[in-house]
Amino acid sequence: MKNSKPKKERGMTISLWINQETLEEIDKTAEWADLTRSRFIQNLIDVGLDEMKLFKALGIIKLSLISLDLRKQWQRARSEIETHESIGEKRITDRGLNISIWVTQTQIQDIEALSKKLGLSRSQLIERMIDMGISDMRKMRTVGIAPILKYFRDLHEKWQASFKDAEKAYKDGALELKGNDNE
């Protein structure tokens, strides 16, 4: 049997503008999750695309985006009241940081199709998916399930590594499987 290693899906690097506060939250959460910033954003995009497909199937995709925008505006207004500082004025001069991330060809195709249907640019859609993912992570950490999910993710990765090691050992002849084959 030919050694069939799964091929890495083709993709490309894209650039995004992300405001400083969001980037700090991404970095803090990625560090907590033991992921790189890029991997964490890729995960947020994956989950965001899955959620958008579900929202589309349920017919509530535009409603969910409106809800997200309203929540962001509410948070900005609350922050302005609490700090007595206008965030709107600050954002005009601080457009954020440009970061680059790698996305798969499938993600690019899904993002392109979805952004056209919603009348958003690719960057606007990705920004909203990131915002949704960060909001979800905040909620999971608040109610205490994020550490449990992290534990199961880590356990899953360990099992995958063990199965790959066992498969390699089997192929190399270092592991022999014995079963009840009615010998």
Task: Give the domain extent around 41.
Answer: 11-143
- Structural contact between residues 24 and 130, judged by C-beta atoms closer than 8 angstroms: no
Model confidence band, residue 91 (pLDDT cutoffs 50, 70, 90): very low
Q: Residue 76 burial by CB count (10 A; 0-12/13-18/19+): exposed, middle or buried? A: middle
Same structural domain for residues 112 and 164? no
Model confidence, pTM? 0.61
Give the up-direction half-sphere exposure of residue 154: CA atoms within 13 A in the CB hemisphere: 10
How many folded domains does the chain comprise? Answer: 2
Same domain, 34 and 69: yes
Mean pLDDT of the chain: 77
What is the band of 27 on the pLDDT scale with cuts at 50, 70, 90? very high
Q: Span 127-153, mean pLDDT? A: 82
